[in-house]
Amino acid sequence: MLRKFSFFAFTTALLWSCGDQKIDTTKAREEMESREIKVVSDAQIIEQAMKLGGEVAEKFQVSETEEGFEVAFGTDSTYQSSFYLFDEANELSGKELQLFQAYNYNRKNGIASEPNVQKLEEGKTLLYTKPMSFKDSTIGMWSIKFSRKQIVLSID
C-alpha cells in the first residue's frame, strides 16, 4: 500500500513539474554573458579610453569672467577629472606634467595639440588628456583618469 502511494505521489509530482510554463531566461543569459571572461587587446583598451574620454570632455565647459576663467565640469564617481590652466600654478608630476608642458609648448609655438591616452600605475589607470580651448585658443589641459577595469567592462 505504501509502495502504491509513493508511486502515485511521485508520478503526480513529476507530471505537475512538467507543466507547459515558459520561463524567461533573458535576464539569466545576460547575467551569464556579463560574467564571461573578455579578451581585449591593448589597442582596444586605448581606443575605448579615447572614446570615453572624448565623451566626458565634451560635457566640460569654459567661460570667461572678470577674475579669469570659470570651468564647469561634472563630478562622476567612476572617473577622476580635473583641469589645469597654463597661467596658474599647479602641482602636476610625472606624465601629467610632461603632457601639460607639451600642450603649453605647442600653444606657444602655434602647433595643434590632440587628445592623448597614457597608461599609469603599470597600466591599472588610463590618463586621458585633451587641450582646453576657449575662443580658438588653448588655455590649459583637461585630465581624466579611468580605471582599466572600467574601460574593459565598457567594451562590447
29: in domain: no
pLDDT at 44: 92
In a domain, 113, yes or no: yes
Distance CA 86, CA 57 (A): 18
The predicted model gives 137-155 an average pLDDT of 90
Query: What pLDDT, on a 0 to 100 scale, did the predictor assign at position 16?
Result: 62
> Is residue 28 one of the residues assigned to a domain?
no
Residue 24 lies in a domain: no
For residue 91, being part of any structural domain is answered with yes
Q: For the segment 53-96, what is each residue's pLDDT rounded down to a tens digit?
A: 999 888 888 888 887 788 877 666 678 888 888 888 788 888 99
CB neighbours (10 Å) of residue 70?
Answer: 10
- Grid cell 566626458 in the structure block, residue: 56
Distance CA 126, CA 144 (A): 8
Quick one: pLDDT at residue 4?
72
DSSP type of residue 13: H
Whether the per-residue pLDDT at 7 is higher than 80: the answer is no
Answer yes or no: is 20 within a domain: no
Determine the Cα–Cα distance for residues 100 and 140; give it in Å rounded to an integer: 8
User: What is the average pLDDT score of the chain?
Assistant: 84
CA distance 155 to 96: 25
Residue 21 pLDDT grade (very low, low, confident, very high; cuts 50, 70, 90): low
Residue 127 belongs to what domain range? 40-154
Instruction: Give the model confidence (pLDDT) of 111-121 as tens digits.
Output: 999 999 999 98
* Residue 17 located in a structural domain: no
Number of domains present in the structure of the chain:
1
Which pLDDT belongs to residue 43? 92
Query: What pLDDT is stored for residue 15 in this prediction?
Result: 62
